[in-house]
Amino acid sequence: MPTNINLRGTLETDPIRNFRFLVTFEPTVPGDFGGGDFFKKTMGFTSVSGLAMSTESIPYRQGNYNTSVHQVPGQTSFSPVTMQRGVMLGSDQNWQWMKHLYSVDGSSGMGGPGTNFRVRVVIDVLSHPNPGSRATDGGGAAGSGFGSLAEGLAVQDDHVAMKFGLANAWISSLAYSDLSAGDNAVVVEQMTLVHEGMGLIMAKDFSKSPVNDDLKF
């Protein structure tokens, strides 16, 4: 029985997978959020949804163009983005972010006049299988220069297939999953972000990853 082989299937022709991604939050101005660095973080999330944008149409009619309605572009809006992740010890960055906008009492909030609560969000979609990934210190063997291979894996050089950017994003809602002694589940945190612009850049090949500065905001 002859075997049919798809000679056109290569790593370059494989669609980008949607399950390997990292999310980085960067204050728009270094030193924001009270001068601390608690929120310049790269995090893993279970899901990210709402990466969408739309432009409204403005119908326009004029006497010399009356066979159909002329459509011109109007304002562009960006959908809120929802992110979910499991709650881990010490992972209170989103709660701290929310406290810039809300306080339980008059003295527990972190925000104030002139406090910036907006950040740039960068979402890196990683290639899989990851071409050229290496857990090294820049040229040595796997784990070289680190206390363990796990430390090396934490800074491995992942290839970024595509990169989303959200401009002037801030947290608009934060929710936690229900607690139940009868469930076999983890505590999940869900937050919704609103933002004022979205960027997208893609890698041209597997030799180089796009960088954050390519987003231009």
Can you give the three-state secondary structure of 137-155, one letter per residue?
Answer: CCCCCCCCCCCCHHHHHHC
Chain position carrying tokens 């997208």:
200
Question: Measured between alpha carbons, how far is 192 from 145 in angstroms, rounded to an integer?
Answer: 39
- Do residues 94 and 41 make contact, with C-beta atoms less than 8 angstroms apart? no
Which of 69-83, 92-106, 174-188, 193-207 is predicted least confidently?
92-106
Q: What is the pLDDT of residues 110-141, one digit of tens each?
A: 555 656 788 999 999 998 877 655 555 444 44
What torsion do the CA atoms of 3, 7, 11, 12 make, to the nearest 10 degrees? -160
Q: Give the pair of three-digit tokens for residue 187.
A: 């505590």
Confidence of residue 104 (pLDDT cuts 50, 70, 90): low
Tell me, yes or no, if the pTM score tops 0.75: yes
Helix (H, G, I), strand (E, B) or coil at 47: strand
The per-residue pLDDT for 142 is 45
% of the chain beyond a pLDDT of 90: 42
Tens-digit pLDDT profile for residues 60-75: 988 887 788 889 999 9
Answer yes or no: is pLDDT of 4 > 80: no
